[in-house]
Amino acid sequence: MDIFEQIVKNIIKEQERIIGPLAWDEARKVQGIKIVSQFTGEIAIDNGDERDVVNSLVNRYERLFGRASHEVCKQAVAQLILTMPRSSIPSSLI
């Protein structure tokens, strides 16, 4: 699993802790995210720019559940993005 897939997985899992299985349902609606197995948390980014896919996921949660949801996304991946070059980090997570 590459770093962007791990970012998506962490975001979904953290949202799931708050809103339950609806987090997975909403992630399925984001173009470019393929849920391989909800039970194991296996996901794939199957098309498009990976940063755009992450931004779309974060924006979807924020549109539906508000600004606090955006902050939850950022906190979910804080440790993962520490080592990434700033230019590689999706803008929604900066």
The span from the first CA to the last CA of the chain, in angstroms, equals 22
Q: How many C-beta neighbours within 10 Å does residue 81 have?
A: 17
Structure confidence at residue 40 (pLDDT): 94
Q: pLDDT tens per residue, the chain (94 residues)?
A: 799 999 999 999 999 999 999 999 999 999 999 999 999 999 999 988 999 999 999 999 999 999 999 999 999 999 999 999 999 999 999 9
Q: Is 56 in contact with 30 (CB distance < 8 Å)?
A: yes
Structure confidence at residue 54 (pLDDT): 98
Q: Is 3 in contact with 10 (CB distance < 8 Å)?
A: no
